[in-house]
Amino acid sequence: GPVISKIQSFLNMEPLQIPGLYREIHQIDMKQISAIDFSLAHDDGMNPETLSQAEIVLVGLSRAGKTPLSMYLAVIGWKVANVPFVPGVAMPESIRTVDRRRIIALNINVDQLLAHRKMRQESLGASGFYAYSSRKDIEQEIQNAQRYYVTSGFSMIDVSNKPIENSAEEIIEMITRRFKAQARL
């Protein structure tokens, strides 16, 4: 019509004449928005009743980097939930309904976790909570977490001294490989 003709002459380009192209291009954006919404709704153990809808479930100790990694993965289109492992607190029952191949446990070394926790305490002005940033307590927490991960059959990656992008790449590769193998069967 006349509007397209004007645009065509102004841009000096021919129309592609592909119906639905705009919608197709913006479908990617909608997938990312959906993934971000899902990940925000499933941050730090929230909404455990829909945990099985996640494409990736991250499990880890406080300050191991679950939330930043979840958000990074969500921005590139993955529906991610993250669940904290807190010694002495039961994991949500719904984690048993999640395909184990989708659960990734985050390991972190003692020194890095200690540094993250001390920094967090200082930023909150909560330096009196000793167990949270005690080397001995952190070592025990890491051992308990690793024991739980192994007995639960969770895959583990070490996030110590790694940029989020590298950890995300490792996780995506694991998940993609696992589900491509299933598709071939």
Q: 115-143: per-residue pLDDT in tens?
A: 888 887 777 776 656 566 788 999 999 99
Query: Cβ–Cβ contacts within 10 Å for residue 121, how many?
Result: 17
Residues in the chain: 185
* pLDDT over 70 percentage in the chain: 89
Res 30 pLDDT > 90: no
Cα-to-chain-centroid distance, residue 21: 31
Q: Give the whole-angstrom CA distance, residue 162 versus residue 109.
A: 11
Task: Lowest mean pLDDT of 18-22, 78-82, 118-122, 171-175, name the range.
Answer: 18-22
Res 153 pLDDT > 90: yes
Res 184 pLDDT > 60: no
Q: Give the H or E element holding residue 154.
A: none
Higher per-residue pLDDT: 20 or 115: 115
Q: Give the whole-angstrom CA distance, residue 43 versus residue 75.
A: 14
Higher per-residue pLDDT: 126 or 51: 51
Q: 53-106: per-residue pLDDT in tens?
A: 999 999 999 999 999 999 999 999 999 999 999 988 999 999 999 999 999 999
Give the pLDDT score at 27.
64
